[in-house]
């Protein structure tokens, strides 16, 4: 039966709408400012308004794009809009396509027909650069060639992969444009597909499919300043970027001497406001006595104290500002995404691959040992040329370091630095915790044949360069390149993602992780479980790294399909769960583990893992059931079950229980403000019992304790 | 390359190709979508009929001005209307609450509207599209420009919030 509020919501669908009034209002000129802006800005406004996604606007304060005073044009774009030209040609020898962006050309390959009944044989694919072609935001697509384009469709490639994509087109245009990305412009990790339909010169059906991944155009963000303007009397803060107002933060509440303001519309899964690494930070405001800014890594512990400059690129994070005013103090939190000062697009592979460092590249490492790349025969190699003074280099080094630590494919990473930079590079490598060797090049960089730092090569064991990137790399690029280096270009690239979608498949060998590294928000890891060959697999388990295996069977609804799983912040283990001899679900004995890093930027989760060391945990045994019924407060029931603890002062559903009450009846037990235990409670037909649990040693719980007899009612 | 991508059905959904919407169709779109959009924004704003009326009207006004550049006018209208409504509500909060002449909702839905107002904006938007318009999750995602899993997360949260605020009472279907 529906809830009362559900029915009331449904009833709103019958509310009469004042259509005549709305029509009259719509016939008045728009209150928005787009139409009155200069042409260049208007283009930006139109694009952002059209696809700016109201949530991104709300989160960023970019709502000004769609109206409101002082609509900013966003960060300045260096130069003209880049152009992307697709050239489609057909002659007697066949049909071909090439895509040119910014003077660099990527030639596509056409696959075979998938069905004799469907004239859709042409799939754009360039194995050298991966499926998704990097297209600068704002690039204008021009279709060249003696072809007739009738229709263009576009949409979410991930959803298309899942077989559920609604096309978001069509664009009825002879000259389709790339100017309006389907995804928010800041989201550079998502793939968008485009389909061009029409006829070739010979009259045959033209049907081209290709994917794009939006990247920033040549936006020079170096040394841009982030200014925060405080107005304590109205509890507002304005964030300016490069001198342009990007939004006002308000809606705060004043609590005594302290005020905490969140960005209006802030939501963990919205796109964050991009600021560039290296940008200076300044805070201005009336009656301001002092301030400090920090940037917190979403991964947790690391933070930068009292920074006056945005540190290395690290993706979405929180910029925290603590201020002391004349009459109080306050904390402001801005969701920001720290990006590279200068983005790059994929370099044209063919030209640059000829200039790679040879496999025999040799030299002395920063710690004085000889190194020859030839020593790493039969190993995939990631080579990165870098220098100490470049922020994108440091970000890239971090990613490569992380990758070498978590990858099961065993790539060897080697850095290459200039001799003149060796001393500083040595310090940088030490500061960043880089463990892979870094070779001091014999030649200076001018002879390396590269024009940007960092430059990254990924080489297969046979020495073939499978990928090159001039500029910083993200995890998705690394994952794809290393996979191809390890298993060959003919293999299907690993699906990678820096999003929160975890793609897994249960096989006879255990769980196969298709996204080796996922960074998820605490609000949920989205699991896309593909059909596998495993028999008897019942579920896919996600559990915190280091947390003992317990009967954690309810972690998914099955081994196929899509589900969201909420787990506490931290690293998470992924494993297949099968039905064991006892009838209980047990973890597949051959799991393949992936690291899923779950973060909790909102503080949404209450802690539920006991704070005592893991080895000190003792286990509960299941107790006799305690009668309960639907009207009874479950917290009280659990408290009664737990009277063996001496005494808990609070029992509460753990964080993710609150989000998914039907999934995991996990309760945390707190005493004196510290979590001292966690229990899983099974409810069945009016009875509740503890099925398993853990508590800190010395907390009053002894192994084998049956908590029920001590219950006094 | 996945099987799904190679599938002619999946990669080339013919039926979708017939969904042509041109600038000249805004009139048709108004007839079809103005009322549902109004109801959605009404729920989103917690019963602010004045804001809903203005937001929907403004959205169509902007659409008319930019008709040539709109790819998916319906989704665009929803986003703009949400955006305009959001701006207005925020502006009111900054300037000290609702306008004095705001029409009050009827008593039977006043509680619902009050509860909706306490939901975060995205949750409100998702709940409105899902429950008021009865749209499937995928369509809600398309209207808001967010991923389907995200919609489900917000639905879960929204249900939980409304159950907390309004109770779990069930009624006959």
pLDDT at A128 over 60: no
* Cβ neighbours for A20, distance < 8 A, ≥ 6 positions apart: none
Residue A293 pLDDT greater than 60, yes or no: yes
Tell whether the model's pLDDT for residue B37 goes beyond 90: yes
Rounded to whole angstroms, the Cα distance separating A440 from A368 reads: 9
ipTM for the complex? 0.82
Question: Which comes out higher in pLDDT, residue A660 or A671?
Answer: A671
* Assigned token pair, A587: 């973890």
Sort A711 into a burial class: Cβ within 10 Å, 0-12 / 13-18 / 19+. middle
pLDDT of residue A70: 24
Q: Rounded to an integer, what distance in angstroms lies between the CA atom of residue B119 and that of residue B131?
A: 15
**Between residues A311 and A619, the one the model is more confident about:** A311
Q: Give the predicted TM-score (pTM) of the model.
A: 0.31
Query: Is B2 in the A-facing interface, judged by CB distances under 8 Å?
Result: yes
For residue A392, name the pLDDT band (cuts at 50, 70, 90): confident
**A454: preceding bond cis by omega (within 30 degrees):** yes
- Please write the tens of the pLDDT for every residue from A177-188: 444 444 443 344
Q: What is the pLDDT of residue B35?
A: 92
Taking residues A558-585, what's their average pLDDT? 57
Share of chain A above pLDDT 70, in %: 25
Q: Using pLDDT thresholds of 50, 70 and 90, give the confidence band for residue B34.
A: very high
Higher pLDDT, A303 or A497: A303
Residue A247 sits at the chain B interface (C-beta within 8 Å): no
Q: Taking CB atoms and an 8 Å cutoff, what residues of chain B touch A5?
A: 112, 115, 162-163, 166-167
Inter-chain contact A114–B8, Cβ cutoff 8 Å? yes
The closest of A539, A542, A543 to A577, measured between CA atoms, is A539
Dump pLDDT digits (tens) for A477-523: 676 676 666 655 433 333 333 455 677 777 777 777 777 667 766 55
Interface of B with A in 26-85 (CB under 8 A): 30, 34-36, 38-39, 42-43, 49, 53-54, 56-62, 64-66, 69-72, 75-76, 79-80, 82-84
Distance from CA of B99 to the nearest CA of A (A): 17
Q: For chain A, what is the radius of gyration of the CA atoms?
A: 28
C-alpha to C-alpha distances, A74 to A43, A345, A496, A704, nearest whole angstrom: 12, 20, 30, 63
- Is the confidence at residue A24, as pLDDT, over 80? yes
The pLDDT, as a whole number, for residue A118 is 38
CA dihedral A272, A274, A280, A286 (to 10 degrees): -50
Model pLDDT, residue B41: 92
Mean pLDDT over A331-343 rounds to 59
The pLDDT value recorded for residue A553 is 33
CA atoms within 13 A on the CB side of A615: 0
Residue of A nearest to B9 (CA): A163
Residue-level pLDDT at A68: 23
Angle formed at CA A259 by CA A258 and CA A261, multiple of 5 degrees: 155
Q: Please state the three-class secondary structure of A510-576 as a single string.
A: EEEECCCEEEEECCCEEEEEECCCCCCEEEEEEEECCCCCCCCHHHCCCCCEEEEECCCCEEEEEEE
Say if the Cβ atoms of B49 and A13 lie within 8 Å: no
Chain A residues touching B33 at Cβ < 8 A = none
Assess whether pLDDT exceeds 80 at residue B140. yes
Lowest-confidence range among A91-95, A595-599, A623-627, A631-635? Answer: A91-95
- pLDDT surpasses 60 at B156: yes
Which of helix, strand or coil describes residue A12?
Answer: helix
Q: How wide is the angle at C-alpha A221 spanned by C-alphas A220 and A226, nearest 5°?
A: 155
Which residue is closest to A565 within chain B, CA to CA?
A: B153
- Start-end of H helices in chain B: 3-6, 8-11, 14-17, 26-44, 49-65, 73-94, 107-117, 121-127, 137-144, 148-166
Give me the pLDDT at residue B38, please: 93
User: Is pLDDT of B36 > 70?
Assistant: yes
Instruction: Give me A322's structure tokens.
Output: 């603590």
Residue A259 in tokens: 């005020």
Q: How many CB pairs under 8 A join A and B?
A: 269
Q: What is the DSSP track for A276-288?
A: ETT-EEEEEETTE
Mean pLDDT, residues B129-146 taken together:
82
Task: Count CB neighbours of B110 within 10 A.
Answer: 13
Residues in chain A within 8 Å Cβ distance of B66? 34, 46, 49-50
For residue A466, pLDDT beyond 50: yes
């Amino acid at each position: 039966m529906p809830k009362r509020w559900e029915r009331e919501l449904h009833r709103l669908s019958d509310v009469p709408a004042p259509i005549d009034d709305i029509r009259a209002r719509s016939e008045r000129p728009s209150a928005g400012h787009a139409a009155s802006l200069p042409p260049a800005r208007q283009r930006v406004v139109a694009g952002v308004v059209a696809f700016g996604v109201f949530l991104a606007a709300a989160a960023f304060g970019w709502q000004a794009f769609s109206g409101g005073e002082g609509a900013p044009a966003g960060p300045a774009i260096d130069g003209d809009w880049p152009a992307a030209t697709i050239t489609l040609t057909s002659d007697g020898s066949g049909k071909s396509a090439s895509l040119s962006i910014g003077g660099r050309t990527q030639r596509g390959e056409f696959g075979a027909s998938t069905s004799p009944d469907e004239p859709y044989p042409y799939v754009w694919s360039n194995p050298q650069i991966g499926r998704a072609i990097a297209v600068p935001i704002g690039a204008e697509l021009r279709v060249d060639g003696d072809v007739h384009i009738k229709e263009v469709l576009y949409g979410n490639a991930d959803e298309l992969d899942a077989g559920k994509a609604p096309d978001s087109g069509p664009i009825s245009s002879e000259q389709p444009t790339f100017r309006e990305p389907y995804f928010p412009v800041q989201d550079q990790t998502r793939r968008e597909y485009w389909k061009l339909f029409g006829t070739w010169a010979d009259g045959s059906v033209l049907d081209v499919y290709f994917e794009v991944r939006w990247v920033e155009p040549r936006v020079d963000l170096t040394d841009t300043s982030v200014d925060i303007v405080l107005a304590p009397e109205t509890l507002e803060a304005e964030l300016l970027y490069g001198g342009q107002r990007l939004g006002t933060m308000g809606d705060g509440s004043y609590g005594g001497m302290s005020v905490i303001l969140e960005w209006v519309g802030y939501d963990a899964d919205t796109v964050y406001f991009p600021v560039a690494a290296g940008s200076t930070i300044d805070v201005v405001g009336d009656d301001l006595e002092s301030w400090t800014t920090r940037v917190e890594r979403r991964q947790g512990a690391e933070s930068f104290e009292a920074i006056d400059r945005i540190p290395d690129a690290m993706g979405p994070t929180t910029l925290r500002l603590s201020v002391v005013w004349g009459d109080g103090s306050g904390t402001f939190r801005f969701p920001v995404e720290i990006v590279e000062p200068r983005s790059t697009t994929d370099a044209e592979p063919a030209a640059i691959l000829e200039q790679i460092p040879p496999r025999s590249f040799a030299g002395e490492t920063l710690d004085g040992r000889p190194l020859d790349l030839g020593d790493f025969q039969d190993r995939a190699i990631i080579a990165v040329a870098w220098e100490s003074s470049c922020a994108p280099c440091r970000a890239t080094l971090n990613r490569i370091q992380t990758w070498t630590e978590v990858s099961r494919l065993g790539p060897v990473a080697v850095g290459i630095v200039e001799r003149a930079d060796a001393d500083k590079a040595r310090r940088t490598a030490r500061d960043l915790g880089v463990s892979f060797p870094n070779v001091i090049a014999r030649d200076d960089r001018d002879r390396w044949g590269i024009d940007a730092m960092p430059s990254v090569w990924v080489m297969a064991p046979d020495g073939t360069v499978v990928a090159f990137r001039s500029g910083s790399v993200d995890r998705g690029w690394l994952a794809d390149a290393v996979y191809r280096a390890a298993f060959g270009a003919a293999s299907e690239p690993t699906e990678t993602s820096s999003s929160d979608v975890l793609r897994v498949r249960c096989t006879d060998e255990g769980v196969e992780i298709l996204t080796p590294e996922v960074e998820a928000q605490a609000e949920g890891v989205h699991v896309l479980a593909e059909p596998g060959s495993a028999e008897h697999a019942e579920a896919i388990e996600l559990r915190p790294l280091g947390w003992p295996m317990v009967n954690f069977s309810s972690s998914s609804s099955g081994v196929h399909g899509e589900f969201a799983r909420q787990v506490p912040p931290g690293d998470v283990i992924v494993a297949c769960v099968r039905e064991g001899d006892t009838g209980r679900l047990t973890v597949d004995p051959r799991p393949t583990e992936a690291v899923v890093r779950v973060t909790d930027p909102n503080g949404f989760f209450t802690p539920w893992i006991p704070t005592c060391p893991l080895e000190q945990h003792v286990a509960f045994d299941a107790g006799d059931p305690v009668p309960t019924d639907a009207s009874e407060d479950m917290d009280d029931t659990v408290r009664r079950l737990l009277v063996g603890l001496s005494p808990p002062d609070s029992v509460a559903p753990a964080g993710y229980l609150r989000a998914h009450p039907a999934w995991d009846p996990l309760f945390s037990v707190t005493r004196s403000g510290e979590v001292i235990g966690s229990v899983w409670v099974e409810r069945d037909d009016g009875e509740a019992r503890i099925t398993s649990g853990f508590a800190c040693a010395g907390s009053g719980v002894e192994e084998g304790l049956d908590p029920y007899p001590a219950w006094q009612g | 390359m996945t099987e799904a991508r190679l599938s002619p059905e999946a990669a080339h959904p013919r039926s979708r190709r017939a969904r042509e919407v041109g600038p000249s169709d805004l009139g048709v779109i108004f007839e079809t979508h103005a009322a549902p959009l109004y109801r959605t924004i009404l729920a989103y704003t917690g019963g602010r009929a004045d804001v809903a009326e203005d937001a929907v009207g403004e959205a169509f006004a902007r659409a008319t001005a930019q008709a040539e550049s709109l790819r998916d006018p319906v989704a665009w209208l929803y986003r703009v209307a949400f955006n305009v409504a959001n701006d207005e509500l925020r502006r009111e909060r900054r300037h000290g609450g609702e306008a004095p002449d705001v029409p009050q909702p009827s008593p039977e839905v006043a509680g619902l509207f009050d509860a909706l107002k306490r939901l975060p904006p995205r949750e409100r938007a998702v709940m409105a599209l899902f429950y008021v318009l009865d749209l499937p999750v995928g369509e809600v995602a398309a209207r808001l420009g967010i991923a389907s899993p995200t919609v489900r997360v917000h639905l879960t949260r929204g249900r939980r919030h409304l159950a907390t605020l309004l109770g779990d009472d069930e009624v006959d279907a």
